[in-house]
């Protein structure tokens, strides 16, 4: 894995009227964030906004990127791979499923 993947960066992966999904590389660590808005969220949580954060430490970030490169090829661009995998409303579910399947340790927080 080249060092270019670990440069601090922000990626806009998905945006609609009621959902925003972004990913970040910060200090060699991966972070997937999402915000959901609107009536469906209010029915589910009692609030009109729900935010979540899925975070990997540096070691698990490297494992995660290697896993994506296996799926998309070594020449794959990180931004393109992230958009293909997580450019959707269900990004957190897909992310946690991949991490669980590949034994990649992550932290999940929501409010």
Sign of the C-alpha dihedral computed for residues 21, 26, 31 and 37 taken in this order: negative
- Does residue 24 carry a pLDDT above 70? yes
pLDDT at 5: 53
Q: Is the pLDDT of residue 70 over 60?
A: yes
**81 CB neighbour count, 10 Å cutoff:** 19
| Residues of the chain above pLDDT 70, percent | 95
> Rounded to two decimals, what is the model's pTM?
0.87
**Strands 107-110, 9-15: pairing kind:** unpaired
Give the model's pLDDT for residue 3. Answer: 46
Residue 42 corresponds to which tokens in the numbers above?
């209010």
In this structure, of 20-24, 29-33, 71-75, the range with the lowest mean pLDDT score is 71-75
């Amino acid at each position: 894995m080249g060092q270019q993947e670990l440069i601090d960066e922000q990626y806009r992966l998905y945006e609609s009227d009621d959902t925003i999904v972004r990913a970040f590389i910060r200090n060699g660590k991966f972070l997937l964030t999402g915000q959901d808005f609107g009536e469906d969220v209010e029915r589910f949580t009692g609030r009109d906004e729900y935010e979540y954060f899925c975070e990997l430490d540096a070691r698990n970030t490297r494992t995660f990127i290697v896993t994506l490169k296996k799926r998309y090829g070594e020449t794959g661009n990180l931004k393109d791979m992230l958009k293909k995998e997580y450019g959707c409303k269900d990004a957190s579910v897909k992310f946690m499923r991949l991490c669980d399947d590949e034994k990649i340790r992550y932290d999940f927080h929501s409010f």
